[in-house]
Amino acid sequence: MEGLEDRTYTADAEPGDHATVAGWVHEIRDLGGIAFLILRDTEGKIQVKFEKDEMDDDLVETGLNAARESVVSVTGAVEEEPRAPTGVEITPESVEVIAEADTELPLDPSGKVDADLSTRLDNRTLDLRKDEVQAIFEIRSEILRAAREAFRDANATEVTTPKIVATGTEGGTELFPITYFGEEAFMNQSPQLFKQLTAGSNLERVFEIGPIFRAEEHNTPRHLNEATSIDFEGAFCDHEDAMDVCESVVKSAYEAVSENCADQLETLGLAGEFEVPDDAFPRLTYEEAIEKINATGELDEQLVWGDDLPTEGEHALGQEMGRHYFITDWPSEIKPFYIKDHDDDEALSTGFDLMHPRMELVSGGQREHRYEQLIEGFEQQGLDPDEFAYYTDMFKYGMPPHAGWAIGAERLIMTLLDLDNIREAVLYPRDRQRLSP
Ligand code: ATP
Ligand code: MG
């Protein structure tokens, strides 16, 4: 094959065309006198018909001896064939094997033989040849596109900030240390400080979609050690404004998938049940949340003010709410130092979380923009403010009130598609056991 200029995608091959299609050998069905090669490309599949007695032996042999998953191109006449999977078939004039595949495959892309997640991730290229896996990543792409559009509608500028940093956002054990020209540095756990510094400029409203690194020890179905964070920060925003933007980004993602990914939802078996959240997300205070959790009777011990919400508590509340909801007005002591307290009650923070019934999706809040209070916050958290001078100094030069949030892209995808494991929503997950591929 000379190149792909004359290539037709399988989905575009129409009866009456003389076409060249190229892709992978999905399957060969040999019925004796007649045999079919099912060729698969990014758009779908097409049947290639071999009538052994009527065709050149070499042609038949090349086509039917191609091992499954070999890359081939086929040129021939496209004809209507109601019995073919897509209603058309190609009668080949030439077949070329472009890249042969081993006859032993580590996993079966036709999906007839199940593979466990670990085998799938080890052989992700083959795994991605499955329709339902391809569908997840096409939907992921659509969600990120929709998020970008929603941010633009909210007047935010896309930025990217460093991932190699001198100090973490909140310090602590969640950092991966690295060596930077002989000096200790870290992989950034969040763009928090940088996005605030940027929102304090004339850009005012910024967003970033990029990696975050967390050296969390635990292995759970909803934690990665490298995740994709969708971050927003807006000057002259309070926590309510930030929640409004958050709600519109999340809803836009659902709407975009509903409007533009009908085929993928169908492939994933979600066509009938996929729902776009419509009404405003309820906003529960932390106090209301713990009362509701206590009332479910699901916990052995009643929660009291100041407790973090345990996972079982989140689940019990999620079941009861049955939809996305915010938890607002958290106790200041369990929210990070950079979150601003309510002016009329220092024990109460403007921090909020957006919850999906299954898990936390977002944390956000209004930020402490007053220099003295910020320095105090560092000290209360046991952090040395001098190490963060690059950040705190800028608060001396006119830092407007501002607010923002972060959503884990993989958690958004996982909950939107009801995936069991967050690793399904990332191409090459990083977790306690996995550093390659
Ligand atoms: P959790 O308590 O669920 O571990 P967190 O409160 O530590 O999350 P934040 O620091 O608030 O996480 O980060 C904001 C968002 O980023 C989270 O709500 C989540 O969607 C996502 N996120 C954080 N850590 C991870 C992780 N390890 N893997 C995947 N997503 C994450
Ligand atoms: Mg959080």
What's the pLDDT band for 173 if we cut at 50, 70, 90?
Answer: confident
Amino acid identity, residue 272?
A: G
pLDDT one-digit tens code per residue, 287-337: 999 999 999 999 999 999 999 999 999 999 999 999 999 999 999 999 998
Ligand nearest to the CA of 411: 1
Percent of the chain with pLDDT over 90: 93
CATH class of 125-282+323-425: alpha beta
Could you tell me the distance, in angstroms and rounded to a whole number, from the CA of residue 172 to the centre of ligand 1?
Answer: 15
User: Once rounded to an integer, what is the mean pLDDT over residues 85-91?
Assistant: 94
What's the pLDDT band for 381 if we cut at 50, 70, 90?
Answer: confident
Whether the CB of 247 sits within 6 Å of ligand 1: no
Please check whether residue 163 is in contact with residue 175, taking contact to mean a CB–CB distance below 8 angstroms.
Answer: no
- The pLDDT of residue 4 is 65
Please check whether residue 365 is in contact with residue 352, taking contact to mean a CB–CB distance below 8 angstroms.
Answer: yes
- The pLDDT of residue 2 is 52
Whether the CB of 224 sits within 6 Å of ligand 1: yes
Closest CA to 7 of 20, 24, 23: 20
pLDDT one-digit tens code per residue, 257-279: 999 999 999 999 999 999 999 99
CA distance 195 to 229: 12
- The pLDDT of residue 294 is 97
Closest CA to 287 of 301, 300, 299, 305: 305
Catalytic residue (choose from 40, 214, 367, 369): 214
3-state secondary structure of 270: coil
Please check whether residue 77 is in contact with residue 47, taking contact to mean a CB–CB distance below 8 angstroms.
Answer: no
Closest C-alpha residue for ligand 1 atom 1: 360
Please check whether residue 366 is in contact with residue 330, taking contact to mean a CB–CB distance below 8 angstroms.
Answer: no
Residue 411 annotated in active site: yes
What's the pLDDT band for 171 if we cut at 50, 70, 90?
Answer: low
The CATH architecture of the domain made up of 4-99 is Beta Barrel (2.40)
Domain spans, the chain: 4-99, 125-282+323-425
User: Once rounded to an integer, what is the mean pLDDT over residues 42-49?
Assistant: 97
Angle (deg, nearest 10), helices 286-296 and 311-321: 90
Could you tell me the distance, in angstroms and rounded to a whole number, from the CA of residue 392 to the centre of ligand 2?
Answer: 23
Residues near ion ligand 2 (CB < 5 Å) are 363
Average pLDDT, the chain: 96
| CB within 8 Å of 183: residues ≥ 6 apart | none
